[in-house]
Amino acid sequence: MVEFDARKSRSNVRKHGMAFADCEAVLLDPRAVTQEDWSEGEHRFNTIGMDALGKLLVVTWTERSHDIRIISARKADARERRKYHGTRT
């Protein structure tokens, strides 16, 4: 199950133009690229993948009680697009 904080999602819309409710498809993308991230003191993941509208996004998430909790979402930058499409930076 995918969950998120509604207030954080509204903040993310203002900051990045992405609502967390629209990001679940990124996590289901069979071509998605996921990397672990410990930079914020907790076990997080950054997933680069396509949303349902074909936009390439980066979704930061963590596991909580066997659920996926979305932390942030934004459009992929050029380096992330290359990584998703399989070319080296």
Question: pLDDT tens digits for 60-78?
Answer: 999 999 999 999 999 999 9
pLDDT at residue 22, rounded to an integer: 94
Residue 71, domain extent: 2-84
- Does the residue 89 lie in any domain? no
CA-CA distance, 7 to 73, in Å (whole number)? 14
Cα Rg of the chain (Å, integer): 12
Looking at the chain, list the stretches that DSSP marks H as alpha helix, in order from N- to C-terminal side.
6-16, 24-28, 78-84
Task: Enter the tokens of residue 51.
Answer: 């949303």
Q: What pTM value is reported for the model?
A: 0.91
48 occurs within a structural domain = yes
Number of domains in the chain: 1
pLDDT in tens, 7-21: 999 999 999 999 999
In angstroms, rounded to a whole number, what is the distance separating the alpha carbons of residues 6 and 56? 22
